[in-house]
A and B are shown apart, each in its own frame.
Chain A
Amino acid sequence: MEIKGEYQIAAMRGVVWQALNDPDVLKACIPGCEEFERAGENSFRAKIKATIGPVRANFNTILSLEDLNPPESYRLVGESKAAAGFGRGIANISLVETEDGTLLRYDADFKVGGKLAQVGSRLVVGATKKTADDFFSAFCTSLDPAAYRVDEEPEAATKSAVPKTWLAVAAAAIVLLIWWFLLG
């Protein structure tokens, strides 16, 4: 399954990039994140309690950042395992400097297996999109209260420049979300 999105952030690319690599920022923005710690130079370990409708599940997720090209782009690879299933996902995140700040783009491809996929295939895309949206809006808002989704009506929002780090964070969050669903 593939999902993608774009966010305009009024913060400089370098700032966004840093935020996307800051465990504290990521932890605060990932819905249900109870623990988030650096596991290596370019990897993180997270415990996330996912609550979606009737589902309440704890996911142990490992995220690693690959193909790092600061402050422009990276690839986020995630894996989650739980009793109810597993998930694997890859997200490509890029930060583009714009007049108003930074444009964060992500596209993610993920797979879900186990019981979660058996019962949840109807809901996985919607739930993942919602989680990604929740993460990105929290992330972008933490950098720039006026940040907005590019595909939404922008008139109410002031453009802002967010560092690319934020994009990376967002991508990581997306991956985490995917994993959660998979592990469910």
Chain B
Amino acid sequence: MYEFNYHRPASLDEAKQILAANAEAKIIAGGMTLLPTMKLRLAQPSDLVDLSAIDGLDAISDAGSAIDIGAMARHADVAHSEVVRSAIPALADLADAIGDAQVRNRGTLGGSIANSDPAADYPAAILALNATIRTDQREIAADDYFLGMFETALADDELVVAVSFPKPKKAAYAKFHNPASRYAIVGVMVAETDSGIRVAVTGAGACAFRASDFEAALTESFSADALGSVSIDSDDLNSDLHASAGYRAHLVRVMAVRAVKALGG
């Protein structure tokens, strides 16, 4: 690797000062995307600001009607948390199926959603569960957060602190994964929440999105059969060597049906 300055601040304020003083500085959480990118020289930040020493940033707690998960909570922490498992088992299952064991032991919730890879798993849960993203500056609603490919509502100097996931009445996540990377070729989370049925899709488009036709069909009748007549337009879906846009459109329905069946529909 080439040279860079490594910082491990003990507080968010200190982290922000370092970021403000170095225009080419980059935040590192688990580094599961950033480190491979740096090794390939596809990114050469002057400074890395490691958030792992900041107290409490990886906390997981039951806040009554919601589960609060700190930005630095590792995927393995979420997968093995009794608090998460008992309130939102679908979220623990989702975390347990991200990448491989090495990625789950390093990768973090905050890193995943700040990066907003089109094939990341967590964004489906953020949207389906109607989560709130808490940053060092404000709270962002799930529906306002994902803007495009690797593009979020976060400002350049904004840090994710925690995510609050309201407890759903029921929820399930089904994904068709790439057998090598375990990235979602298509992943769908179906949830019944206080604000109604929500269906969120990841892996298929530039970023995670809600499938409103699916939501309407399931609101009318929560059953796999109700999804027989709805489909998703493939025009804006991703096409790559793993799957064509048309195939991804097909997979969206198949995954949605699997999630609904897992919920007894």
Contacts and interface: CB of A to CB of B under 8 A. Distances in A.
Given A53-B33, A53-B149, A126 B41 contact: no
Contact of B240 (A52, A55, A118, A125): A125
A119 B235 CA distance: 25
A57 interface: yes
Given A122-B119, A151-B235, A56 B206 contact: no
A54 B115 contact: yes
Nearest to A52: B150
Q: How many A residues are at the interface, by size bracket?
A: 20 to 34
Contact of B115 (A53, A115, A151): A53
Contacts, number: 64
B150 A125 contact: no
A53 B206 contact: no
A149 to B, nearest CB: 11
A15 interface: no
B235 A55 contact: no
A151 B234 CA distance: 13
B17 to A, nearest CB: 22
B41 A84 contact: yes
Contacts of B149: 52-53, 123, 126-127, 130
A121 interface: yes
A116 interface: yes
A60 to B, nearest CB: 15
A154 B37 CA distance: 39
A54 B117 CA distance: 9
Interface residues of B, number: 26
Interface string B231-244: 00001001111100
A176 B39 CA distance: 25
A184 interface: yes
A123 to B, nearest CB: 7
B148 A54 contact: no
A54 B41 contact: no
A130 B42 contact: no
B43 interface: yes
B34 interface: yes
Contact of A53 (B40, B41, B45, B150): B150
A150 interface: no
A83 B119 CA distance: 26
B42 A126 contact: no
A178 to B, nearest CB: 15
A125 B239 contact: yes
B168 interface: no
A55 B149 CA distance: 12
A55 B242 contact: no
Contacts of A56: 42-45
Given A54-B115, A121-B240, A130 B43 contact: no
Contacts of A121: 240-241
A39 to B, nearest CB: 26
Given A130-B148, A184-B42, A54 B119 contact: no
A126 B206 contact: yes
A130 B147 CA distance: 12
20 contacts: A52-B150, A53-B117, A54-B34, A54-B115, A54-B150, A56-B45, A57-B43, A84-B40, A84-B42, A119-B37, A121-B240, A121-B241, A122-B183, A122-B240, A126-B206, A126-B238, A126-B240, A127-B149, A130-B148, A130-B149
Given A119-B42, A126-B149, 9 more contacts: A53-B115, A55-B42, A56-B42, A56-B45, A84-B40, A121-B241, A122-B119, A126-B238, A184-B42
Interface of B: 33-34, 36-37, 40-45, 115-119, 148-150, 183, 206, 235, 238-242
Closest 8 pairs (CB-CB, A-B): A53-B150, A54-B37, A55-B42, A56-B43, A115-B40, A54-B33, A122-B240, A184-B42
